[in-house]
Structure 1
Amino acid sequence: MRWLAVILALVVLGYVALCALVYVKQRSLIFYPQYTQVAPRSDDLQLKRDGLVLRGRVLNPGQSRALLYFGGNAERVQDSADELARSFPSHTIYLLAYRGYGASGGVPSQDALFGDAVALYDHVRQQQPDAPVDVIGRSLGSGVASWVAGQRPVPHLALVTPFDSLVHVGQLHYPWLPTGWLMRECFDSAKHLATHHGDTLVLRAGRDTVVPPAATAALIASLPADRLQVVAFAHYDHITISAAPDYWPAMARFMGSTVARPAP
């Protein structure tokens, strides 16, 4: 009995230590800026926040509508620049790398990304005061985009491989961990979108193993059906969804754009 008690105590201590490690290290488990670093460019969009300089790009300047794009984790947002410019020719498009990503300074966190995203929206409204501001968010960026849409008017919100909350995603991946108690970076999109009054498009991947289908389904169930469109790409996964032939056209149709394709 004494040995059993010792073994049980060691198991409990090991579990508690693992939970403590996850709690302390969660930001390094959520954010992967190290794969996105690039050198600053002279023509970068620059947004100053909290003594930092956040950098990105502006595409299709001078258009009557604006579009903010928030990329996924470990995504270099500039890699989508050409497709964004072609797919949304009537939008001026703003790509801003998250803190610590791309050529932006700082360290990422949920609250910092939320604050930076709203600051970008407000900057765009100053630059284009009469332009409606549409938003696209992919994966982790869907959580950022959902926050913006809950805080500011967004006529068209497109969410790619989204989730209802990162807590739910964590519970689905690690049911043996008390993720509800451990996670500070919650990205509670379902809650934030309760105050979004525009139209929403959800693009989901049928073979997504990063965002479990139940987390996307829970977000869809939380949204008003009369302002929601869902497009499913059954044969694509979390990464390859953007290679689907109708991926960009689906968002362009939703935004009311005509995709500008290069001449053959």
Structure 2
Amino acid sequence: MRTRIVLALLLASVLSGCVVRVAEQNLIRPRAGELVSAGTLDEGRWVATPISVKAADGTTLQGAHFSKSGSVAAVLYFGGNGFVLSEHAEFVLSAYRDTPVDLIMLDHRGYGANQGATSLEALFEDGVQIYDHVRAANPGMPLLVHGHSIGSFIAGRVASERRLDGLILESTATTTEEWVRRMAGWKRFLVRIRIDQHLQGQGNLTVVGRLDEPALFLVGEKDEVTDPEMAEELFVAASVPAADKRLIVVPGADHMQASHSKQFADGVRWLLARVQKDQAID
């Protein structure tokens, strides 16, 4: 996640007294990568099957379905700003290595080998389109949605427009305004910060007040990109019953490490149990 660029801009502007403008380009910075090929990973544990989804504007979004034996559900994963599938797939797969789920991951538009102009709204629209495609392609299989950092904004938008089986918001933020404020720290008093209108009010604070699915909130105790207090605030604000939400703050973990913990694996198993209970009631 390259959101640290916001803080770098703030530090540079202290010397000049400039107004700092936080734009979409500070939070969304496309990176090139390669297509994922069919094959196996992790000594045959995972089988990768390339998939593609046609976005509403005709852009083809590429990714892969990573399956393994014994899976009882699938997870649709939305990565953060620095996420490129050809580089980071195995990092995410290792987080789910010992949980009974398949993983479905696609590069964002403009990332990896994908074409298309990037914007936060375009990523939101793609997220819903991808979810609908994956849901239709895997009938009868519980589908969780997991978003990390900026990807948690996408996951939140999907949750606001669809009834999910389960939601995982990792290293997330309440609003972009609060996110930038916390990253800037005391330096915000030395500069004037202006956030582009496309970013104003974005985040998951309004989303969690309308949740209708079990939700897991995950963050590292030492996360300096998305302050853990924001995850705590979102957990409290989540509208689902107490039995359908859980907050995990992983001791010592930073922005990238929280999902590589026993606490996260236990949290996923808890979420799967909640999903199975809901389906039994239905």
TM-score (norm 1): 0.78
Corresponding residue SS for 2:222: coil
CA contact 1:167–1:179 (8 Å) conserved in 2: no
**Aligned counterpart, 1:160:** 170
- CA distance in structure 2 between the aligned counterparts of 1:75 and 1:68, rounded to whole angstroms: 14
**Aligned counterpart, 1:32:** 29
CA contact 1:136–1:145 (8 Å) conserved in 2: yes
Which of 238, 242, 245 is matched with 2:259 structurally? 242
Task: List per-residue Cα deviations over 1:165-195 (Å, max 9, x = no partner).
Answer: 2221012234346657534224321112333
Which of 203, 224, 230 is matched with 1:209 structurally? 224
- CA distance in structure 1 between the aligned counterparts of 2:212 and 2:192, rounded to whole angstroms: 33
Give the aligned residue type for 2:206: K
Shift, 1:92, TM fit: 3.8
Instruction: Return structure 1 stretches of 4+ with deviation > 6 angstroms.
Output: none
Shift, 1:130, TM fit: 2.9
**Aligned counterpart, 1:68:** 76
Shift, 1:115, TM fit: 0.6
Corresponding residue SS for 1:38: coil
Which of 120, 127, 131 is matched with 1:117 structurally? 127
Shift, 1:84, TM fit: 5.7
Corresponding residue SS for 1:232: strand
CA contact 2:51–2:63 (8 Å) conserved in 1: yes
CA contact 1:163–1:218 (8 Å) conserved in 2: no
Q: CA separation of 1:241/1:181 partners in 2, compared to 1, >3 Å: closer, same or farther?
A: closer
RMSD: 2.8
Corresponding residue SS for 1:136: strand
Which of 53, 57, 61 is matched with 1:47 structurally? 53
CA contact 2:95–2:259 (8 Å) conserved in 1: no
Q: CA separation of 1:129/1:249 partners in 2, compared to 1, >3 Å: closer, same or farther?
A: same
Which of 93, 96, 107 is matched with 2:106 structurally? 96
Shift, 1:205, TM fit: 1.2
The answer to whether 1:18 aligns with 2:16 is no
- Corresponding pairs, count: 237
Q: CA separation of 1:98/1:231 partners in 2, compared to 1, >3 Å: closer, same or farther?
A: same
Shift, 1:81, TM fit: 5.0
- CA distance in structure 2 between the aligned counterparts of 1:99 and 1:256, rounded to whole angstroms: 33
- CA distance in structure 2 between the aligned counterparts of 1:72 and 1:159, rounded to whole angstroms: 12
The answer to whether 1:140 aligns with 2:160 is no
**Aligned counterpart, 1:230:** 247
Unaligned runs of 5+ in 2: 1-15, 39-49, 275-282
CA contact 1:200–1:228 (8 Å) conserved in 2: yes
Structure whose alpha-carbon radius of gyration is higher: 1
Q: CA separation of 1:256/1:76 partners in 2, compared to 1, >3 Å: closer, same or farther?
A: farther
Task: List per-residue Cα deviations over 1:122-153 (Å, max 9, x = no partner).
Answer: 11222123333211111111111111111111
**Aligned counterpart, 1:198:** 213
**Aligned counterpart, 2:41:** none
